[in-house]
Structures are given as structure tokens and as C-alpha cells.
């Protein structure tokens, strides 16, 4: 069975560079343009959640260590 994942984005650390959007091959991260960080940066959102495979790439690419990736485990 394919791995399933989820991410959280720390809105205080994010600087809005959108590297995570660019490098997620599953189109699971998007900048919708309606959410801003406390410092005024445009924030990305986790979308298409069912497609995330916990590959970790977004976490590796984030220069501000704002993303945490979780791998779902079957109960």
C-alpha cells in the first residue's frame, strides 16, 4: 500500500518563498493568496491531502525549517 503523509507548516517560521510549492511533485502545497504570516509573508497551505506520500521533500527544501512531515501508519 502506498505511503500516506501529512504536513504542518509553522506559520511563524515561514518566509513565503514557495520552494515547498515548487518541489512537491504531488501538488499538495499551494499558495492561495489569502493567508499571511505574523511577519506579513504569504503563506502556503496543505492541499490535496490524499495525495501526500510523506516523501519529505518539502521539509528538506524549506530553508526556514518550517515544515514537519508526518507519515501515517496503519492502526
Interface residues toward ligand SF4, by CB under 6 A: 5, 7, 9, 14-20, 24, 26, 28-29, 44, 52-58, 61-62, 64, 66-67, 69
Residue bearing cell 524549506: 62
Residue nearer to ligand SF4 on the CB measure, 54 or 75: 54
Residue nearer to ligand SF4 on the CB measure, 35 or 69: 69
DSSP-derived secondary structure letter, 51: G
Say how far apart CA 69 and CA 65 lie, in whole Å. 11
Cβ at position 75, least distance to ligand SF4 in Å: 21
Q: What's the angle, vertex CA 34, arms to CA 38 and CA 15, rounded to 5?
A: 40
Amino acid at each position: 500500500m502506498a505511503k500516506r503523509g501529512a504536513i504542518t507548516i509553522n506559520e511563524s517560521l515561514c518566509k513565503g518563498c514557495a520552494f515547498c510549492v515548487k518541489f512537491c511533485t504531488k501538488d499538495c502545497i499551494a499558495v492561495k493568496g489569502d493567508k499571511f504570516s505574523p511577519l506579513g509573508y504569504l503563506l502556503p497551505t496543505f492541499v490535496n491531502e490524499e495525495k501526500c506520500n510523506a516523501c519529505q521533500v518539502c521539509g528538506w527544501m524549506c530553508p526556514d525549517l518550517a515544515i514537519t512531515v508526518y507519515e501515517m501508519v496503519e492502526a
